[in-house]
Structure 1
Amino acid sequence: MTMLKYTAAALAMLPFTAFAQTAEDEIVVTASGFAQPRSETGQAIDIVDRDRLEQLQSATINEALQTVPGVSIATRGGLGGQSSAFLRGGSSAQTLVLIDGVRINDLTSPNGAFDFGALMTGNIGRVEILRGPNAVIWGSQAIGGVVNVQSIAPVDGFEGRFGAEYGAYDTKRVNANLAGSSGRLEGSVGGSFVSSGGISALAGGTERDGYDNLTGNARLKVHVADNLDLDFRSYYNRATVEYDSAFGVGANALPVSRNRQFVGYVGANFDLLDGRLKNRIAYTRTDIKRVGTDPVVFSFNNFNVRGAIDRAEYHAAFDVNETLTLVAGAEYERSFASTAFEGAAPDIARNHVGSGFGQVILRPVAGLTLTAGVRHDAYDDYGEQTSFGGNVAFTPNEGRTMFRATYGEGFRAPTLTEGQPPYGNPDLKPETARNFDLGVEHQFIEGKAQVFATYFNRRSNDLIAFSSISFQSENIDKVTATGLEAGLSLNPTDHLDIRASYTRVDAINRSAGANFGKRQTLRPQHSMSLTADWQTPFGLSVGSSLLWIGDSFDNAANSLRLNSYALVGLRASMPLTDALEVYSRIDNLLGADYTVVAGYNSFGRNATIGVRAKF
C-alpha cells in the first residue's frame, strides 16, 4: 500500500492532462460512428496503433489493453485460454467488441461476452478503446465501453510486412500482410499462424494444454466515382484450444474446443451536397461456431454450438454548416443460435431488433463542441429500450488543455440463452446503466509532456444473474462503479518515450442480500502500468514494462482473495537494414508467482526472439 499511496500522491500533484496514445489530432470513429477529431468529443478514448504494438512487442491484444487505463484482463490459463476484458469495472458481457466495425460478441455464450483469448496482434493495425457507455451509437452491450479492433488498412503505393518469432513453451508465430493502392483500387490482405505447446490451464496439472490459431484478414475499397466507394472487409479465425475443466477430470483433463469466427462486411460510402452529406450503407455478417470434444462423457465439454448475426445498417452525417453536424442511422439485426450438449438435440433461438438513432454535434464557438443523442431499440421478444447520451469537449488554448464531460446511458439486452426457453426467462428486462465522467487533459513543455485524469461514476440496474430460487436468470443485481483514471507521458527527446497510467475502480455490489457492499469478482481496485522505451544512438532500442495489479476477489462473498502482483518485462530490437529488424523480449522477468483467476495457472519467466521486415 505504501507504493500505491506515493504513486497516487504523485499523480495528484500533476496538472491533469492527456495521454500520449491519444494525441489531439487523432481521428476516432467510436464516438459517433463516423471519423471525427478526438478533440471534438467529450468521451474518453484511447488508441493503440501498429507502431505502439511493435514497440511493446505485444503478441496478444490482451497485453496491449493492459497498458490502457480503466481496462483489466482476466485470462484462465495460458495462451488461448478464455480471456475477459473488464472496462471500468463492468462485466465482460458489458464490453462491446468490433472487428473492422462489425460486432463479434459471442451470442452462443451464456452472457454474450467476447473471448479475447483468440485475438492475436499479427495483422492488427489499430485498436480504439472507448471507455464508458455509448448506447446511442452502438446499442446493446456498450456499457463498460467499446473495443474496436481494426486490421492493417490499405496504404498509398505498396507495403509489405512480415514477422516470425519463437519463444518459451515451444511457441511459434508467423504473420504477413500486403497493402497498397492502384488506380481506383486499394486493399490489404494478410494472415497469421500461432502454435504453442502451452502450460496446464488448471494449477497442479502435468499435462500441457496446447493452442493453435490461424487468422486471415482482407480489405478492399473500390473508388467507383469521386463521391462513391464500395467497401469490402473480412476476418476469419480458426483456433484449437486444449483446456482443463472442473466438469471433466481436473487439471489433467483432455477436452478440446475447435472454434471458428468469421466477419464479413459489404458496404458503400457516398457523399452528396458537395461532400456535406456523408452516407454509409452496409450489410454485415458474424458467424461463430464452436465444437467441443472430451473423452469424459456427460462432462458438458462435448458440445456443438453455432451463432450468426445478420445486420443491415444505414448511417448518415450531415454538415449543415461549420457549427452544426447531424448524425442519424437506422439498423436491423437478426440473430440465431443453436446449442447442443452431449449429443442431445440442439436448442435453437432467434431474435430480431430494429433500431434508430440521432445525434446533434454543435460547435457554437471555437474550441467548444457539444454533442447530444438518442436511440430507440425494439426487440421482438424483450420489448423496447430508449437510451440518451451527451458530452462536452472544450479547449481554451487550441488543444493544449482539454476539458471533457460525458453523460451516457447503456443497456444490455438479454442473450438468447438468458431470455428464451428452454433455459431462459422470457420476462427478463435489459440491464441498464447511467454514467457520467469528468476529465481534464493538458500538454506542456511544448507538447513533450502530457498528463490526464478522469473521474467516472456508473450505476447499473436490473443486472441479469442466476436465481437459486427460480433456477433461471432474473433481473436481481445492482452495481455501482466509481473510479479515477490518471496518467502521463513524457517525450523529452525524439528517442525516449515514457508512459504511465493508474486506475482505481470501486465496483460494488448494491443488490439486497448477504453480498451487499462487496466488490465485484476479478475487478482489482487498483492497477498501474509503466513503460519506458529508448532508442540508442547506434540504433538499438531497449524498453521495459511494469504492470502492477492490486488485490481482487474471485467470489461474490469476497472470501476468496487474489493477492496483488507485479510483472516486469524487458525488450530490445535492432535494425539490421532499413527493412529488417531483429527483436527479443523477456516477460515476467522476475519470475513472479501470481494468480489471475483462482485455480488457474499463469506464465512464469519466458523469453522470445523474433524478426520482422517491412518493405
Structure 2
Amino acid sequence: MRRILLLSFTALSVAGIAPALAQSAPPATQPSAAVAETVVTATRIPTPIERVPGSVTVIDRQTIEERGYQTLAEALVSVPGLSLIQSGGPGQPASAFIRGTASRHALVLLDGVPVNDASEPNGAFNFGNDLLGLEVERIEVLRGPASSLYGSGAIGGVVNIVTRRAPADRPIEAFGELAGGSNRTLRGGGGVAGTVGQFDYLFSLRSLSTRGTDATPGRFAANTGERDGFRGLTGTARLGWTPDARLRVEGLANWRDNYGGLDNVPADDPNYSFNDRRFTGQLRAEARPIEAWTTGFRIARTEDRRRYTNLPDSLSRSSTDDLYRGERTVYDWGNQLRLPDAGPFDASQLAFGLTHEREEVRQASGGSGFRTTTNADASSTAVHAGYQVRLLRRLDLTAGFRNDDAEDYGSHATYRLGAVLALPEISARLRTAYGTAFKAPSLYQRYGVISGFFQGNPSLRPETSEGWEAGVEFDIPLAGQRDLVTLGATYFANRIRDLINFDAAFTSLENIDRARIKGGEFTATLRPARWLTATAAYTVTDARDARTGERLARRPEQQLVLNAALRLGDRVTVAPELVLYGRSREGAFASYRDDGSANTTARDNKAGTVLNLTATWQATEPVALFAEGRNLTNSRFEPANGFVIAGRTVVAGTRFRF
C-alpha cells in the first residue's frame, strides 16, 4: 500500500508540474475557470472553492442530470475518497465510508441542518433512501474532520444537500420530469417556483417506483430470484419573504415516505419489508444590521419513523416488527463579520455562533425470544467560531474552534487549521489542513436494552480523531488553453481513538478500539475540446485496526471513477461513467459461502466494475429527452458480501422547465 501511494504521488507530480513550469504562466488576476465555484459547507462562510483548505467536491444540478443520478447514493459514488457501499438498488441500505472512517462518521445536512437519524443504533445515515428530485440544486461534500464546524459525527466528513432557490426574475416557473423503463420503473416529479414582489416560493413533488432486482446473489443455493421492489415519494416546500436587501425570512419543509422489500442474508425473504419516513422543517431569519455584519437565527426539526416487518413464510417461521422513532430539534444562531483590510491582509472574515440541539429516541423491536427498547433523550449546547484571512493576495489562512457541552457525556472541544497557497506563476494551489473531531455515543449505545442480554453503557465517552491532509492542484496550459488539464493529489491520514464496540461478554459496549487510516486522492480533468470533458478520481485507502493491524471491513483498498461529457453539437450530451472497485475486507461471520453458511474467518470481497451511460437531447430550449442505463454489463458485483448491486436497468424520459 505504501508503495502504491508513493508511486502515485511521484508520477502525478512529475507529469504535472514539469509541463506547467515549461509554459508561460497566465496572469495572476485571471483565475482558472475550473475553480470558480463558491461553497459554504467547508467554512460556514461563502468562499471560492480554490481558497478552501479542505477537500471539497460539488455535484451540481447539471452534473446530476447529465449523468442520470436519481438517488443520493448514485451521485456520491463519483466523489474521491468516498466509498459508497449499497446492499442492492434504490431503497436498500447504503453506507458511506469517507476516507476510510466508519459509516457513522459521515454527517449529513439538508440545507445546513443535520438529518442523521437519531434512532439509528450507531447514529449512521442510510444513503440508500434519498431521491434527487429537481428541487436539489447541488451536493457539497467536505472530506476530513469537521467537528469544529458541525459538532458530533463529522469525523470523516460532511455531505450537505442544498435545495434550489426560486428564480428572482419571474413570477412563475414550472419544472418537471417523467420517465419509465425496465424492471417496471416509473419516476416522475414536478413543481413550481417564482418571485412575486417581496415573496418567493417553491413547491415540488418527486416519486419513484420500481419492481427492482434481486439483491441476493445467484450463487447462493437458497436464492429464489425474489425481487426487492421500492416506491418512494418526496415533497419540498419553501416560502420566503425579503422586505428589503437587509432582511430575509424563509421556511423550508421536506418530507419523504419510502416503502420497499429487503432480503435476509443468505436467503431471499419475500415478506421482509420496510417503511421509512422523514420530515424536516426549518424556519430561518437573516438580517444585516450593518454592511459588514450578517446575523441569522434558525429553528429546525427533524422527525424519523422507520418500521421493519417480517411475517412467517415458507422459508422462515420467525417474525419481526421493529419500530424506530427519532427526533431532533436544533436552535442555531450564526454570524458573519467582515473585517477591514489591514496592510497585506485582506478578505478577513469572522464567523461565530451558538447551537443548541436535543435528540429523542423511542424504539421497540424484537423477534423470537428477545426484545430491544430505547427510550431516551439528551441535549447539548455548543459555541463555535471561525476566522479566515488572505495574506498578500495568495495565502489563505483559516482557523476554527468549537466546544460542545452535553448533559450526558460532558464537554468536548475540537479545532481545525488550514492554509491554501496560490502559485499563479505555475498555475498551482497548495493546500494543507489539520483538525480534530468526535462522534458522541448514540442514545441506543448509552441507554438501549435487549431483554435478558444487553444493557447500554451511560458512561461511554465520545469517539475522537485527529487528522491532517496535504495536497496540490495545478492547471497545465497547453495548445493555447490555460487549463487543458487540471491535476490534483491529496495525502490524508487519520487516527481514531475510543471507538465503541462490544465488551468481551457481548453484554454492553465500551470504548475499546482504535483505528489508523492513510491514503491518497488523485484527480484529473481533461478539456481537449469544447465538446469533451473527461474526469478521473482515483482513491487509495489503507484503513486498519490499530490494535491488530487487520484491514477494516468494507473499505475498498482502491477505487477509480471515470466520467466524461461528450457534447455532440449544441443539443446532445453523452455521459459515460465507469466505476472500478478494488478488493475490500469482510469480517468473520459477515461473509457467506455459496451454500449459505457463514465463513468463520475474515475474507476479501472481490473487485468489481460498473458501467453507466446517460444520453440527453435538448429538443427545445425548455424540453429535454434522455435515456439512462445503469449497470449496463449486468455485473453481479458484491460490494458487501451476500448483497449484489442492482441489475441492469434502462430508463427513458423527458425533463422540462418553462
Q: TM-score, normalised by structure 1?
A: 0.93
Within the candidate set 592, 596, 607, 1:564 is matched to 607
Letter of the 1:198 partner, please give it.
G
**Aligned equivalents of 1:609, 1:571: Cα separation in 2:** 10
Q: Does 1:495 align with 2:531?
A: yes
Task: For 2:185, give the aligned amino acid.
Answer: T
Q: 1:266 aligns with which of 260, 263, 283?
A: 283
Shift of 1:402: 1.3
Q: Does 1:309 align with 2:325?
A: no
Residue-by-residue CA offset, 1:451-497 (whole Å, 9 max, x unaligned):
11111011100011122335211111111111110111122222211
Q: Contact 1:298–1:342 at 8 Å: present in 2 too?
A: no
Match of 2:182 in 1: 168
CA distance in structure 1 between the partners assigned to 2:622 and 2:513 by the alignment: 55
Task: Establish whether residue 279 from structure 1 lines up as the match of residue 295 from structure 2.
Answer: yes
> Aligned-pair distance for 1:226?
2.3
1:448 to 471, 480, 484: 484
Report whether the alignment pairs 1:54 with 2:65.
yes
2:153 maps to 1:141:
yes
Amino acid at match of 2:648: R
1:228 paired to 2:247: yes
User: How big is the shift at 1:428?
Assistant: 0.6
Give the Å deviation of 1:221.
2.1
Which one of 351, 376, 383 corresponds to residue 378 of structure 2?
351
2:552 paired residue number: 520
Q: Identity, % of aligned pairs?
A: 29
What is the CA-CA distance between 1:177 and the residue it aligns to?
A: 2.8
One-letter amino acid of the counterpart of residue 281, structure 1: F
Tell me the SS of whatever aligns to 2:62.
Answer: helix
Q: Is the 1:22–1:47 Cα contact (8 Å) retained in structure 2?
A: no
Q: Which residue of 2 aligns with 1:201?
A: 215
Q: CA deviation at 1:374?
A: 1.4
Measure the CA separation in 2 of the matches of 1:326 and 1:501: 34
Q: Which residue of 2 aligns with 1:241?
A: 260
Q: Which moved more, 1:534-543 or 1:94-103?
A: 534-543
How far residue 342 of structure 1 moved from its aligned partner, in angstroms, is 4.3
Q: Post-superposition shift, 1:568?
A: 1.8
Partners of 1:64 and 1:21 in 2: CA distance: 25
- Would the alpha carbon gap of residues 299 and 14 (structure 1) be closer, same or farther in structure 2, given more than 3 Å must change? farther
* 1:280-299 matches, cutoff 5 A: 280-296=296-312
1:288 CA drift (Å)? 0.3
TM-score by length of 2: 0.87
Note the C-alpha offset of 1:305.
1.5
CA contact (8 A) 2:501 2:513 kept: yes
| Alignment pair present for 1:379 and 2:393 | no
Residue type matched to 2:280 in 1?
V
For 1:406, give the aligned amino acid: A
Q: Which amino acid aligns with 2:354?
A: A
Residue among 358, 362, 385 paired with 2:389: 362
- Are 1:78 and 1:198, in contact at CA under 8 Å, matched by a contact in 2? yes
Give the conservation status (yes or no) of the 8 Å contact 1:200–1:252.
no
Give the residue type in structure 2 aligned to 1:160: A
Give the distance between the partners of 1:357 and 1:8, measured in 2 at CA.
Answer: 36
Report if the CA contact (8 A) 2:87-2:639 is conserved.
yes
Deviations 1:422-471 (A, max 9, x none): 33111110000101100111123213321111110111000111223352
CA distance in 1, matches of 2:305, 2:151: 24
Q: Is contact 1:443–1:449 with CA below 8 Å preserved after alignment?
A: yes
Q: 1:413-562 counterparts in 2 under 5 A?
A: 413-422=440-449, 423-445=455-477, 446-469=482-505, 471-511=507-547, 516-537=548-569, 539-555=571-587, 559-562=602-605
SS at match of 1:209: coil
Q: Which amino acid aligns with 2:277?
A: R
Structure 2 segments unaligned to the other structure (5+ residues): 21-30, 218-222, 450-454, 589-599
Q: Deviations over 1:7-53 (max 9, x none)?
A: 88864544279xx9994321111122232222332111110000001
Whether the aligned pair in 2 keeps the contact of 1:29 and 1:35 (CA below 8 Å) is yes
Aligned-partner residue type, residue 340 of structure 2: N
1:557-596 CA distance string (max 9 Å, x none) = 9732111111122222222222212111322223322111
Change (3 A) 1:52 1:398: farther
User: Which residue type is aligned with residue 331 of structure 1?
Assistant: T
Amino acid in structure 2 at the alignment position of 1:328: F
**Shift of residue 100, structure 1, vs aligned partner:** 1.6
**Stretch of structure 1 that moved more, 392-401 or 47-56:** 392-401
Q: Which residue number corresponds to residue 255 of structure 1?
A: 272
What secondary structure, in the 3-state scheme, does the structure 1 residue paired with 2:16 have? coil
Shift of 1:175: 1.6
Structure 2 CA distance for aligned equivalents of residues 85 and 368 of structure 1: 33
Deviation at 1:194, TM superposition (A): 0.4
CA RMSD of aligned residues (A): 2.4
**For 1:305 and 1:262, how far apart are their aligned partners in 2?**
14
**Mapped pair 1:593 → 2:636:** yes
Determine if contact 1:14/1:451 at 8 Å carries over to the other structure: no
Q: Counterparts of 1:585 and 1:421 in 2: how far apart (Å)?
A: 44
Cα–Cα, structure 1 residues 385 and 498, in superposed 2: closer, same or farther, change >3 Å?
Answer: same
- Determine the C-alpha separation between the residues in 2 that align with 1:230 and 1:398: 45
- Aligned pair count reads 604
Letter in 2 for 1:358: A
Larger radius of gyration: 2
Structure 1 CA distance for aligned equivalents of residues 32 and 383 of structure 2: 32
1-structure distance, mates of 2:191, 2:111 = 16
Of 351, 355, 359, the residue aligned with 1:335 is: 359
**Alignment partner, residue 101 of structure 1:** 112
One-letter amino acid matched to 1:182: V
Which whole-Å CA distance do the structure 2 matches of 1:207 and 1:505 have between them? 35
- The corresponding residue for 1:394 is 421
Whole-angstrom distance in 2 between the partners of 1:519 and 1:133: 21
Q: Which of 428, 431, 439 is equivalent to 1:412?
A: 439
Alpha-carbon distance between aligned partners in 1 of 2:486 and 2:380, rounded to the nearest angstrom: 43
